[in-house]
Amino acid sequence: MSLLLVWLAEVVVFALVAAGILAERPAALAATGATIVLAGALVRFLAPLRMGLAAGFARHHAAALAGGATLALVLPLTLRASPYWTFVATLALLYVTIGQGLNLQIGTAGVINLAGAAFAGLGGYSVGLLTVTAGWPAWLAVLVAPWIAVTVGAVLFVPILKTRGHYLALVTIAFGFIFNILMNNLEFTGGPQGLKNIPTLRLFGWAFTSKPALAGLELPAHANFYYAALLVAGITTWALRRLHDSWLGLALNTLRDDEIAARCCGVSLTRGKLVAFSIGNFFIGLGGALYAVMVGFVSPPDFDFGYSLVMLSVVIIGGVDSIPGVVLGACLLVPLPERFRFLHEFRLLLYGVAIVVMLLYRPRGLWPAAVRRYR
C-alpha cells in the first residue's frame, strides 16, 4: 500500500514537472502552477500524508529508486517535441555529475574549489585537443580527459592543500583566471574562438547525431546524450554515495570539522585532501568532457568564473555534503532559468541571494545529508 503511494507521488511529481516545462498557454500554465502549490501545501500541512510519504520512501528505498529511474528513462519521450528541452535536461544531468564531484571537495572534505569551471574546462579542452588536433575517437578522448583534469589538479595543488582554507580558495580563483586567460591567448587552444568541429560520440557504430527511437517513437538527436549523461550521472551518484558512506567519507568529514582530531586518529591531512580533490576533479572533468562532445565546440567563455559560481550554487542550495541534495540542486537550478526566461538575466543575482539565505537559515541545504548508516 505504501509502495503504491511512493510510486504515485513520483508519477505526480513527474507529471507536474513535464507540465511545467511543456505548458504553453496561460491557462495551462496557471493550472500547473496552482496544482504545484496545492500539492506542496498538502504535503506541508497534512501531517499524515507527509509521514506516510516519508515512511514509504524509507521502507521501499530500492523500489522508489527504480521508479525514479524509470521515469527518468521515459522523460525524453515526454520532451520529444522539444530538442531544446532535451538539451536542457541533459545539461542538468551533466551538472549532477559535476556537482557530485564538487560536493565531495567542498561539502565532504571542506576543500574549497572555486575553479570548478576551469576543471570542467580542462576536461572539455582535453577532449577538443585530443579529437581535433590528435585525431582520437571521441569515446577515447572522453575516457582520458578527466584524468588530465586530475593530474593538473594534483600537480598544481598538492603543495597548497594543507594550508588554510581561504588560501586554497584564493589559489583556485587565481587558477580559474589563469586557465581562462591561457585558453584565450594560446594558439593551440584556438584563442577566443576555441576549438570547433569536435566529433560526436560514436558507440558500436551508432553515431550520436542520429535520432534514436524509444517505444517506436522518434526522439531528438540530443536524446542520445541524455541517456549517456543519465548513465554517467547515475554511476557517479551511486559511486559517490558509497564513498560518502564509508571510511573515506567519515575521514573527510572529520578532517573538515576538526583537523587536529582527525590527524590524531590516524588520518593523513595531505593524503585525505588530495584524494578528495582528485576524485572530485575527475567527475568535474568528466562533465566538461561530455559537454564538449555534446555541443561540438569549446571556447573560453564556456568555462568562466560565473559557471564556477553556478556549480557552487548547485552544491550549497541542494545540500552541502548531501548526495541527493546535489541531484535536487542540479535539477532545480539548471532548468528553472531556462523555463522562466525573464529570470535568466537575474539568474546569478538570485543564486547569490539564495546561497546567502540558505547559509543563514538552512545551512544544510534543501535536502540535508542523512546520517551515515554504512549500508
Residue ranges binding another protein (CB under 8 A):
106, 110, 112, 114, 156, 159-160, 163-167, 169-171, 173-175, 177-178, 181-182, 185, 239, 242-243, 245-248, 250-251, 253-254, 256-258, 260-269, 275, 305, 309, 312, 316, 345-346, 348-349, 351-353, 355-356, 359-360, 363, 371-375
Three-class DSSP category at 214: strand
Q: Which is nearer to another protein, 127 or 312 (CB)?
A: 312
Q: Which is nearer to another protein, 12 or 343 (CB)?
A: 343
CB atoms within 10 A of CB 367: 17
Q: Which is nearer to another protein, 137 or 352 (CB)?
A: 352
Minimum separation from the CB atom of position 10 to another protein (A): 25
Minimum separation from the CB atom of position 209 to another protein (A): 33
Listed in sequence order, the residues at least 6 apart from 79 whose beta carbon sits closer than 8 Å to its beta carbon are 18, 21, 22, 85, 86, 89
**Rounded CA separation 101/312 (Å):** 11
Q: Which is nearer to another protein, 17 or 114 (CB)?
A: 114
What is the grid cell recorded at 181? 586567460
Minimum separation from the CB atom of position 173 to another protein (A): 5
Q: Which is nearer to another protein, 34 or 231 (CB)?
A: 231
**Rounded CA separation 6/49 (Å):** 11
Residue 98 near residue 287 (C-beta atoms within 8 A): yes
**Rounded CA separation 89/201 (Å):** 18
Minimum separation from the CB atom of position 268 to another protein (A): 5
Q: Is 297 exposed, middle or buried (0-12, 13-18, 19+ CB in 10 A)?
A: middle
**Rounded CA separation 207/217 (Å):** 18
Minimum separation from the CB atom of position 75 to another protein (A): 27
